[in-house]
C-alpha cells in the first residue's frame, strides 16, 4: 500500500483516479485530487493502488521569528477550528494547527506587512459542533485580547456555521471599541485554490484601514482572487457548499469590498458603528432550550408538539410566514390539528417566532387569514430575519431579558438583524 504523501494511481473496477494518498481506513482510501479536493474511494471497488512517485511529506514553513515593527497596529488572530489556518500533514493525515504567531506569519507572510500579529488557539472544532456556550468562550477570548489593547481581532472558524457564529457574537459582544472580523476558508491552505490567505489579508486590511467597529465577516466576493467582501454579521448566509464566494448578504448588501491587489477599500454601506474609546461589554448568555423547525409538505402535528417545554422555537415557515393547518383522514375529512399543536407548545411557555423558507424577503402575517390566525395563537412575525439569526437572537434574548421583553425585542432591530421595509436591489441578480 502507499504511504501518506505519495502520488498514486488508484485503479478501480471501472476507471481510475490519480492523486496524493492521504490515508486509508478499513473501508476507504482517501486521495487528494489535483483539484485539491479530497475524495474517499470504497476499497471494495479498488483493484490496485500504484505508487507513481514517493512523497516527501509536508514542508511546513515557520517564520524564524516575528519582528515587532514599531508604528504598525496589532491584530490578534483567534483560531477556533475549520480549514482557515490548518495544514494537512501527509505523513499522518492529521490536521496541524499549532497556531503560534510564528506559524501564522510563516504561512501568511503578507500579514506581517499589515500589522503585528498576536494569536491564540481558542478551540479546534468543527463549526457544526458549536454550541451556545462556545460563543461565550469565544467572547471571553475576544475580551482578553481587547484588554491587551489590540487594534482588531480576526476569528478563524469553520465555514459551516461561520455566519451563525457571527450573528451570535454580534449579540454576545454588545459593545466593542475595535473591529472583530470572522474569516473562514472554503479550500484548505495546502491547496493551490485556497482562499485562506486572501480572506485573512483582506480582513487585516479592513481592520487597519477602515473606521468600522463591531462584528463582520470577510470572505471572497467572486470566485476569482480579486475582491473580498465585508459582510454584515446578522444578514449573511453560506449559500454554496463548496464555492469560495459562498457567503452572501441576504436582505442586505455588503458593508465594503476590498481589492486584494490594490488593497483599496470601497465602502458600500455607511458605517454607523465606528471605532472609538468605548468599553467592551459582553452579554454572553444564551438560553439553551431554543429550537428550530422547518416546515415541509406532509408534516405531522407531532413534529411541532415535540418542542413542548422549550423556551423558544423558530419556525422556518413557507412564503409570508405560514404552516400547514390541517391533516385530512382517508375520507378526506379535515382535522384542524396543527394550530392546536402549536398552541400546546406556546402554552408550555415557549416563545415562537416565524421566519420564511424563501430566505429572501420578509414575513407578512397580515396578508392571509392563516398568518393572522397564527398571530392570534401567539406566533411572532420574525420580520426579514434569516432563520439562523432569529435562532441565536431569540436564545440570546431569553438568556438576558424577561420573556415579555424578549417578545418585544425580537421584532426590533438591535444589531442590524432586521432591515427597514426596503427591498434591497441585490436579490440573485
From candidates 76, 161, 189, 210, binder to its own copies by CB under 8 A: 161
Q: What is the dihedral of CA 398, 403, 405, 406, to 10 degrees?
A: 40
From candidates 193, 224, 366, 402, binder to its own copies by CB under 8 A: 366
Tell me how far the alpha carbon of residue 371 is from its chain's centroid.
Answer: 30
State in angstroms the smallest separation of the CB of 131 from its own copies.
5
From candidates 16, 124, 259, 303, binder to its own copies by CB under 8 A: 303
Please confirm, yes or no, whether 83 is among the known catalytic residues: yes
Enumerate residues 65-104 that contact its own copies by CB under 8 A: none
Question: What whole-number distance in Å separates Cα of residue 43 and Cα of residue 24?
Answer: 9
State in angstroms the smallest separation of the CB of 334 from its own copies.
9
Region of 51-59, 196-204, 317-325, 406-414 interacting with its own copies (CB under 8 A):
317-325
Half-sphere exposure of 118 (CA within 13 A, CB side): 17
From candidates 63, 141, 155, 168, binder to its own copies by CB under 8 A: 168
**b/e per residue, 23-32, with b = 16+ CB within 10 A?**
bbeeeebbbb
Question: What whole-number distance in Å separates Cα of residue 327 and Cα of residue 325?
Answer: 7
Determine the 3-state secondary structure of 230 from DSSP: strand
State in angstroms the smallest separation of the CB of 320 from its own copies.
5
From candidates 47, 224, 328, 348, binder to its own copies by CB under 8 A: 328
> Rg (Cα) of the chain, in Å, rounded?
24
Provide CB contacts within 8 A for 182, sequence distance 6+: 154, 155, 157, 162, 165, 166, 169, 215, 216, 217, 218, 233
- Cβ 304 vs Cβ 295: under 8 Å: no
From candidates 65, 128, 276, 404, binder to its own copies by CB under 8 A: 128
Closest CA to 323 of 350, 344, 303: 303
Region of 49-57, 148-156, 170-178, 369-377 interacting with its own copies (CB under 8 A):
369-377
How many positions of this chain bind its own copies (CB under 8 A)? 82
Enumerate residues 225-244 that contact its own copies by CB under 8 A: 237-243
319 binding its own copies? (CB under 8 A): yes
State in angstroms the smallest separation of the CB of 350 from its own copies.
14
Region of 107-115, 157-165, 173-181, 264-272 interacting with its own copies (CB under 8 A):
157-165
Neighbours of 154 (CB within 10 A): 28
Please confirm, yes or no, whether 238 is among the known catalytic residues: yes
Enumerate residues 172-191 that contact its own copies by CB under 8 A: none
Show which residues are catalytic. 83, 159-160, 238
Amino acid at each position: 500500500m502507499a504511504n501518506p504523501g505519495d502520488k498514486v494511481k488508484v485503479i478501480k473496477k471501472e476507471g481510475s483516479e490519480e492523486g496524493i494518498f492521504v490515508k486509508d481506513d478499513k473501508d476507504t482510501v482517501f486521495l487528494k485530487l489535483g483539484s485539491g479536493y479530497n475524495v474517499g474511494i470504497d476499497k471494495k471497488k479498488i483493484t490496485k493502488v500504484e505508487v507513481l512517485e514517493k512523497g516527501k511529506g509536508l514542508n511546513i514553513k515557520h517564520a524564524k521569528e516575528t519582528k515587532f515593527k514599531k508604528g504598525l497596529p496589532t491584530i490578534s488572530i483567534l483560531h477556533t477550528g475549520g480549514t482557515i489556518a490548518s495544514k494537512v500533514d501527509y505523513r499522518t493525515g492529521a490536521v496541524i494547527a499549532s497556531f503560534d504567531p510564528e506559524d501564522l506569519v510563516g504561512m501568511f507572510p503578507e500579514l506581517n506587512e499589515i500589522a503585528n500579529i498576536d494569536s491564540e488557539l481558542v478551540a479546534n472544532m468543527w463549526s457544526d459542533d458549536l454550541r451556545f456556550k462556545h460563543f461565550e468562550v469565544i467572547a471571553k477570548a475576544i475580551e482578553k485580547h481587547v484588554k491587551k489593547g489590540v487594534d482588531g481581532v480576526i476569528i478563524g472558524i469553520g465555514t459551516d456555521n461561520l455566519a451563525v457564529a457571527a450573528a451570535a457574537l454580534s449579540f454576545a459582544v454588545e459593545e466593542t471599541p475595535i473591529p472583530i472580523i470572522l474569516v473562514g476558508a472554503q479550500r484548505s491552505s495546502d491547496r493551490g485554490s485556497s482562499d485562506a490567505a486572501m480572506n485573512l489579508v483582506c480582513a487585516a486590511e479592513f481592520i487597519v484601514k477602515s473606521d468600522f467597529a463591531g462584528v463582520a465577516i470577510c470572505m471572497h466576493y467572486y470566485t476569482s482572487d480579486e475582491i473580498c467582501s465585508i459582510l454584515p454579521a446578522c444578514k449573511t448566509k453560506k449559500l454554496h457548499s463548496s464555492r469560495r464566494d459562498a457567503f452572501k448578504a441576504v436582505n442586505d448588501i455588503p458593508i465594503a469590498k476590498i481589492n486584494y491587489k490594490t488593497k483599496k477599500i470601497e465602502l458600500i454601506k455607511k458605517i454607523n458603528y465606528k471605532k472609538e474609546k468605548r468599553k467592551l461589554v459582553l452579554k454572553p448568555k444564551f438560553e439553551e432550550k431554543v429550537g428550530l423547525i422547518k416546515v415541509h409538505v406532509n408534516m405531522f402535528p407531532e413534529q411541532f408538539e415535540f418542542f413542548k417545554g422549550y423556551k423558544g422555537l423558530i419556525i422556518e415557515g413557507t412564503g409570508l410566514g405560514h404552516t400547514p393547518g390541517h391533516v385530512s383522514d382517508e375520507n378526506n375529512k379535515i382535522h384542524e390539528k396543527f394550530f392546536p399543536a402549536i398552541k400546546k407548545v406556546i402554552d408550555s411557555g415557549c416563545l415562537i417566532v416565524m421566519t420564511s423558507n424563501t430566505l429572501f424577503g420578509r414575513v407578512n402575517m397580515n396578508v392571509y387569514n392563516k398568518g393572522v390566525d397564527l398571530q392570534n395563537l401567539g406566533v411572532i412575525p420574525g420580520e426579514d430575519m434569516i432563520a439562523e439569526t432569529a435562532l441565536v437572537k431569540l436564545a440570546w434574548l431569553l438568556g438576558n431579558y424577561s420573556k415579555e421583553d424578549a417578545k418585544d425585542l425580537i421584532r426590533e432591530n438591535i444589531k442590524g438583524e432586521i432591515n427597514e421595509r426596503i427591498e434591497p436591489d441585490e436579490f440573485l441578480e
